[in-house]
């Protein structure tokens, strides 16, 4: 497959990968409340989901490097479809927990293989020196638009269609998300992959730990790569802060189904802004003549936008809300423009046999940084107001922008792939 064709396929599959998440983002908690779960129990279900991802993140990344990208992506779609089907029909705590495990496994399986497939395909067609920014940005735009559209549909559809026979309104977008996962599995089955040996089960079991260990060594030994991934952790904190504090802020403005619809619109606006940022990614790299400087600029704009949100949270009235909307969109534009440049810096220092694993290490690192910092942000927001939480997140993101300073592009010496 040519690099151009790979970019189109990558964008399509990235859109289908994230559309289900948008569809069930708004109904998720409301559906569990409607089925009789209490807020503490829902929190436990969320913890199960997060722990499943954390436990499987590295092994599934190693599996994609050993077994191949396509089978792991198909497995993620199948697990996602099963988990969402269970979520839409579950009526007991045990079934909701089972759904969380399946959805967590699907998320872990999908972290890295698709992006790794795209980068490997482009490198095979155009060489290691090819600038990946445009293609990665295309995938970012597709994912953001898909998330935005899914969030709007998932938030507004229950208000429009109501119950469908015995199916409650809130379950409709969840089951739609399951259908999208089935479609993704079908389209992924035809994904062309560079020739890859088909190892025996024993070789796979031996190869995954070796590949995971190699990926961890690479991430720890290459200081430039470590800085790039730590910077991604700072961006993860910013996104986690938005997810934590924005609904609480909106809850003070409206309640009930209207609050859900309002959050859907706000979240969709953020995803749309992220898509705009992705469209600007290649221009940003050209403007600053460096992937590192482009990433620094995007992170800095987003940090200043978070600081602006902190200021808006201390104000009231229409002007404050308009300014907050501008800051909110600037936050996502900055990150959308910076993420492809940051990804290019990562991929140019990673070999094909460890690419999915290193992406899983980055994802796990983002979760770990968030697990440490976001509770502090939540505590600050509870004690000193939402503006304090936004301010702390702005400082963290600005500090992570500094990790790109004096970072030079370039490949590292190749690391031999582990023998499985």
Tell me what the mean pLDDT of segment 155-164 comes to: 79
pLDDT at 283 over 70: yes
pLDDT in tens, 219-267: 666 788 888 888 888 888 888 888 777 766 665 555 545 656 667 777 7
The fraction of the chain above a pLDDT of 90, given in percent, is: 27
pLDDT value of position 414: 44
Which residue, 334, 355, 333, is CA-closest to 346? Answer: 355
**Residue ranges of the domains in the chain?**
3-188+197-404
Which residue, 145, 105, 126, is CA-closest to 14? Answer: 145
Banded model confidence at residue 218, pLDDT cuts 50, 70, 90: low
Protein fold of 3-188+197-404: Growth Hormone; Chain: A; (1.20.1250)
pLDDT in tens, 91-110: 899 999 999 999 999 998 98
pLDDT value of position 324: 80
User: Half-sphere exposure of residue 305, counting CA atoms within 13 Å on the CB side?
Assistant: 25
pLDDT in tens, 336-393: 999 888 988 888 887 776 777 777 778 777 777 777 787 788 788 778 888 888 999 9
pLDDT value of position 284: 92
pLDDT at 198 over 80: no
User: Half-sphere exposure of residue 84, counting CA atoms within 13 Å on the CB side?
Assistant: 29
Given a contact cutoff of 8 angstroms between Cβ atoms, the answer to whether 152 and 265 are in contact is yes
Tell me what the mean pLDDT of segment 15-23 comes to: 93
Report residue 326: phi and psi, to 5°.
Answer: -65, -45
Classify residue 317 by its DSSP letter.
S
pLDDT at 416 over 50: no
**DSSP H helices in 222-317:** 223-251, 256-279, 281-288, 291-313
Question: Cα 70 to the chain's mean position, in Å?
Answer: 19
pLDDT value of position 415: 41
The total number of residues shown for the chain amounts to 420
CA distance 349 to 412: 5
pLDDT at 20 over 90: yes
Contacts (Cβ under 8 Å, ≥6 apart) of 159: 169, 257, 261
pLDDT at 419 over 50: no
Contacts (Cβ under 8 Å, ≥6 apart) of 308: 323, 324, 326, 327, 330
Q: What is the dihedral of CA 260, 265, 271, 276, to 10 degrees?
A: -170
Banded model confidence at residue 314, pLDDT cuts 50, 70, 90: confident
Banded model confidence at residue 203, pLDDT cuts 50, 70, 90: low
Banded model confidence at residue 271, pLDDT cuts 50, 70, 90: confident
pLDDT at 323 over 80: yes
pLDDT value of position 210: 66
Contacts (Cβ under 8 Å, ≥6 apart) of 56: 104, 105, 108, 109
């Amino acid at each position: 497959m040519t690099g151009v064709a790979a970019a189109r396929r990558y964008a399509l599959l990235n859109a289908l990968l994230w559309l289900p998440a948008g569809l069930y983002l708004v109904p998720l908690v409301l559906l569990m409340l409607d089925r009789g779960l209490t807020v503490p129990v829902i929190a436990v279900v969320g913890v199960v989901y997060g722990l499943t991802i954390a436990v499987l993140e590295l092994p599934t990344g190693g599996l994609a490097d050993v077994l191949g990208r396509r089978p792991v992506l198909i497995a993620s779609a199948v697990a996602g479809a099963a988990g969402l089907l269970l979520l839409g029909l579950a009526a007991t705590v045990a079934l909701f927990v089972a759904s969380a495990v399946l959805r967590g496994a699907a998320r872990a399986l999908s972290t890295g293989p698709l992006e790794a497939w795209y980068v490997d395909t482009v490198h095979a067609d155009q060489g290691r020196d090819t600038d990946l920014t445009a293609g990665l940005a295309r995938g970012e735009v597709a994912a953001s638009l898909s998330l935005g559209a899914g969030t709007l549909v998932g938030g507004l559809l229950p208000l429009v269609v109501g119950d469908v026979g015995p199916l409650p309104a809130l379950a409709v977008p969840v089951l739609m998300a399951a259908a999208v996962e089935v479609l993704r599995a079908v389209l992924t089955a035809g994904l062309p992959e560079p020739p890859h040996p088909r190892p025996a089960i024993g070789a796979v079991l031996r190869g995954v730990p070796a590949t995971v260990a190699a990926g961890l060594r690479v991430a720890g030994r290459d200081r430039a790569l470590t800085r790039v991934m730590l910077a991604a952790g700072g961006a993860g904190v910013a996104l986690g802060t938005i997810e934590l504090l924005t609904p609480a802020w909106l809850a003070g403005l409206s309640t009930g189904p209207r609050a859900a619809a309002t959050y859907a619109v706000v979240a969709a606006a953020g995803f749309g802004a992220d898509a705009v940022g992705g469209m600007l990614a290649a221009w940003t790299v050209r403007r600053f003549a460096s992937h590192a400087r482009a990433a620094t600029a995007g992170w800095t704009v987003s940090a200043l936008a978070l600081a602006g949100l902190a200021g808006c949270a201390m104000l009231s009235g229409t002007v404050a809300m308009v300014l907050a909307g501008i800051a909110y969109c600037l936050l996502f534009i900055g990150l959308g423009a910076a993420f492809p440049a940051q990804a290019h810096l990562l991929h140019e220092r990673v070999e094909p046999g460890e690419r999915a694993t290193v992406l899983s290490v980055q994802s796990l690192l983002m979760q770990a940084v968030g697990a440490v910092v976001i509770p502090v942000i939540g505590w600050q927001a509870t004690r000193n107001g939402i503006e304090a939480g936004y301010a702390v997140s702005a400082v963290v993101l600005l500090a992570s922008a500094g990790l790109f300073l004096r970072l030079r592009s370039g490949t590292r010496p190749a690391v031999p792939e582990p023998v499985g």
